[in-house]
Chains A and B, each alone.
Chain A
Amino acid sequence: MKWDVSSMDSWKAADFPRGAVIPEAGNSQYYRTGGWRSDRPIRDAETCTNCLICWIMCPDSAIRTADEKLADDTFDLEHCKGCGICANECPVEAITMVPEGCELPEVK
């Protein structure tokens, strides 16, 4: 990570890049959006056919794969916003959305 934002909370006005520019690409992964989620996706591995439609449709690239199948640790919950598109698109209804509990990932 070439742009170090670890101390951004203490930056003064002059420390921020001019015009609110983000001066590097590909750093949205450091912005954790999991805390926005109210419903969490759960996959039933026995029903799932590994068609990967959920992986294609996920707007946050929050679905993990391994060896061209869904990974056991399927959902990247640090970035999944709980939009439910995966559950809606699944042709065999292998994904269900369940309400989140109180243990939410840290909001950044």
Chain B
Amino acid sequence: MPEQKTVATTGNLVVAEAMRQCAPDVVAAYPITPQTTIVEEFAKFVAQGRVHTEYVTVESEHSAMSACVGASAAGARVMTATSSQGLALMWEELHIASGMRLPIVMANANRALSAPINIHCDHGDIMGARDSGWITLFAETAQEAYDNTIIALKVAEDPDVLLPAMSCLDGFITTHSIDRIDLFDDQTVLDFVGQYVPSNALLDVENPVTHGAFAGLGGPYFEFKRSQRQAMDRAAGVIDRVGADFAKLSGRPFAPIEVDFMDDAEVVVISIGSTAGNVRHVAKELRAQGIKAGAVKVRCFRPFPFAALAAILKGVKAVAVLDRAESFGAEGGPLFLEIRSALYDLETRVPVVDYIYGLGGSDVKLELIRQVFDDLSDIASGAMAPTGLVYLGAR
């Protein structure tokens, strides 16, 4: 295992460090709170000559992702970062990047969408783009944000995948808090991600190709979407393989879902991102009191690990899903819809309750998580019927 350097710094700064170590040919980016320090730090690396990247400053996120699409089609390794309204402004290019099968890697600092205006954490931004065809990884900690960024690039550029990938970290909570992080040396990261060998590069003038052609008028648009689905399905296997290689290199386990106390768990809380730490902490407290509490963290949202979730939740007595995003008019938040669908094929129906929490950075105190586990214990013992959607902690 290569030696790692332990540092105390923020999620954003280690994402910038991971980007530098991946040595992208092009970064086109626009600053937005709470992502700004990623691209600011990366710009500093470029100015210092510590990375040889064509750094394109653009006038909006729409242009940022457009420039990334063009650079990636030209054959470059491309990375960028955004957040919230910026991600929303990129929306049409997100689909173009995935449809053109361009392995762009982007960090997203999860932040609420307006209105009302807000700059704090929730997952409304990325959940709004969850059908844009991007592989989507979520970090609980700054360490995971660093690791996920490197893993995302390796997966995206795999010849069996060639899809864009997003590395999400919670705005302010993970982007700006000082955390303890182990960093690789540059060569280790470069060796791990390898050299990007583009195919169909526009700059390969010996083999001219056309990107962005029309596939309408009864043309094969439908078939191209099917290929995209197949690539995303293949990505699941590649993520497992790359994750296992990364775990061997780093000593840190990686899996699409990560579980605690699940061997004999009866009441289980599922979460994404930084809140997973709170859930694990409360589950540990409850275990000390003899309550069979378990915690599940979804680290990979696209492709969604349906089978692994169904296997781990089989036989539990009650499940709570914590959704840090709304899907107004749907039966629950985006994660709830996925989880309940994953459980549908189980022979014994598991009660699942959805908790919308933490929107716009609303504080996720441990008491709130304890309340969720209390509800689950009541449901498991038959003292309470499963409820509909709960706005956890909202007045």
List residues of chain A with CB under 8 Å of any chain B CB.
8, 11-14, 16-25
Contact = CB atoms under 8 A, between A and B. Distances in A.
A71 B218 CA distance: 35
Interface stretch (B203-211, B266-274, B379-387): B203-211
Output the residue of B101, B102, B215 with the most chain A CB within 10 A: B101
Among B102, B213, B230, max chain A CB count under 10 A is at: B213
Contacts, number: 54
Contact of A20 (B162, B215, B226, B230): B215
Which of B101, B212, B215, B227 neighbours the largest number of chain A CB atoms within 10 Å of its CB?
B227
B200 A20 contact: no
B99 interface: yes
Contacts of A25: 208-210
B162 A18 contact: yes
A18 B162 CA distance: 9
B264 interface: no
Given A19-B99, A19-B100, A14 B227 contact: yes
B144 to A, nearest CB: 30
B344 interface: no
Nearest to B163: A19
B220 A16 contact: yes
B99 A20 contact: yes
Given A13-B226, A20-B100, A21-B210, 20 more contacts: A11-B220, A11-B223, A13-B227, A14-B230, A17-B200, A18-B101, A18-B199, A18-B200, A18-B227, A19-B224, A20-B99, A20-B211, A20-B224, A21-B100, A21-B200, A21-B211, A21-B213, A22-B210, A23-B200, A25-B208
A103 to B, nearest CB: 21
Contacts of B208: 24-25
B200 A19 contact: yes
B52 to A, nearest CB: 27
Contact of B209 (A12, A14, A21): A21
Nearest to B102: A19
24 contacts: A8-B220, A13-B220, A13-B223, A13-B227, A13-B230, A16-B220, A16-B227, A17-B200, A18-B162, A18-B200, A19-B101, A19-B224, A20-B99, A20-B211, A20-B215, A21-B100, A21-B209, A21-B211, A22-B209, A22-B210, A22-B213, A23-B200, A25-B208, A25-B210
